[in-house]
Structure 1
Amino acid sequence: MYIPKYYKVTDVNEIEEFIQMNSFATLVTTKQGKPIATHLPLMFNKKGEDCYLTGHMAYGNPQWRTFETSEDVLVMFQGPHAYISSSWYEQENVPTWNYQSVHIYGHATILEKEELVEDLTKLLEKYENNRENPILWESLSPELLEKEMKGIVGFKIKIGEIQAAYKLSQNRNEADYINIIDQLKNEETPNSKQMAQVMEKRCKK
């Protein structure tokens, strides 16, 4: 991913937090030279000095069979993004687009059944624990779980390289930056309002 110096992010903790908050990813591999992709939620995990992404996909999805022949896979995470009008600047310029994006390269392998159960348990805890009637692993019947697990394949990706770009108008002066936030708040799209929140949070650091 092309990343101008203004927008490059290298703080691993900040990137981990971003992944946790924007965990629905695009997983890209190649099959006979042709790129193929799957969109799915992933979990960020640490084991000692190593970092992994874990997840699962349908057994009928042919992509998991490409893990053996793919030296590296590409995973893309995206946060809010928004059109930035140059009418919001003090001086004449061209419009642009603000965004947050993280690319991860790594080697993918298939999870053993015990590893998959552990990962699914954590996945349910992450998204169900705050609900009034949480559906957790132990609350589901063994018969249902055994049946459903036959239809999925779990995998883990050992992270080798991380590329992160946060294009948040860092190259603009303070007056432009504040005005961009105000203008984004007035836009009708949820992405624009979310981008305003991200920029405002950065402004307070």
Structure 2
Amino acid sequence: MYIPDLYKNENREEIHAFLQSNSFGILINQTEGKLTATHIPLELDTDKKGKTILHGHLSKENPQWKGFSENDQVLAVFSGPHSYISSSWYDHENVPTWNYIAVHVHGRIKIIEGEAVIAHLKKLVDKYEKASENPVCIEDLSKKTMMQTRGIVAFEIEITEINATKKLSQNRDDKNYQNIISELEKTKENQSVALANEMKKCPR
């Protein structure tokens, strides 16, 4: 991912927090000479050796996983809030643009089996069930229901490189920067308001 220096984010803690909050990503690899991609949750974690990983799973019906043994190099793409920025919001003539937050994670993928699959599913379910009024627990599911795990391929991705960008109008002066935030909030669109909130947190 091309990232101008002004928009590059190298704050590890911030990037990890972003990945945890925006874990529904796109897994990209090459299968039989063709680029393939799937939209799935990819959860940030550490393995037994203390290495930072992503873990997830695919349906066995999805042929993408068959490419993992041929080439273990994968790319995971994560997107945060984004919005169109009108040049009418500036106090001078300029061109419109688009502000956004995104992280690209490169790594090596390997299929996991046995108890590691159940551990992966437990972490996934526990994370997203914790806000439920009647949370579901893997441990409480029947053997019949858990038989469905035979239909998935679980994996871990050892992270080798992370590229993160925060394009938040850092090239604008304070007056125009604050005006962009105000205009984003006026739209009352979820993405735009979320982006405005990120701009408020961005150091100037």
TM-score (norm 2): 0.95
Q: Do residues 85 (structure 1) and 119 (structure 2) align?
A: no
Whole-Å separation in 2 of the counterparts to 1:140 and 1:185? 44
Deviations 1:97-154 (A, max 9, x none): 0001100111100012211100110111100012110011112112211x21011110
Q: The residue matched to 1:115 in structure 2 has which SS?
A: helix
Q: The residue matched to 2:25 in structure 1 has which SS?
A: strand
- Partner residue of 1:54? 55
- Partner residue of 2:110? 109
- Partner residue of 2:167? 167
- Partner residue of 2:121? 120
RMSD of aligned Cα (Å):
1.3
Whole-Å separation in 2 of the counterparts to 1:56 and 1:43? 10
Whole-Å separation in 1 of the counterparts to 2:174 and 2:55? 40
Whole-Å separation in 1 of the counterparts to 2:114 and 2:72? 23
* Unmatched runs of 5 consecutive residues or more in structure 2: none
Whole-Å separation in 2 of the counterparts to 1:71 and 1:141? 34
* Unmatched runs of 5 consecutive residues or more in structure 1: none
Q: Compute the displacement of 1:49 (Å).
A: 4.3
Deviations 1:163-202 (A, max 9, x none): 0011011111111111101000011422111111111122
Whole-Å separation in 2 of the counterparts to 1:186 and 1:113? 51
Alignment map for 1:28-39 (pairs within 5 Å): 28-39=28-39
TM-score (norm 1): 0.95
Aligned residues: 203
Moved over 3 A (4+): none
Q: Percent identity?
A: 45
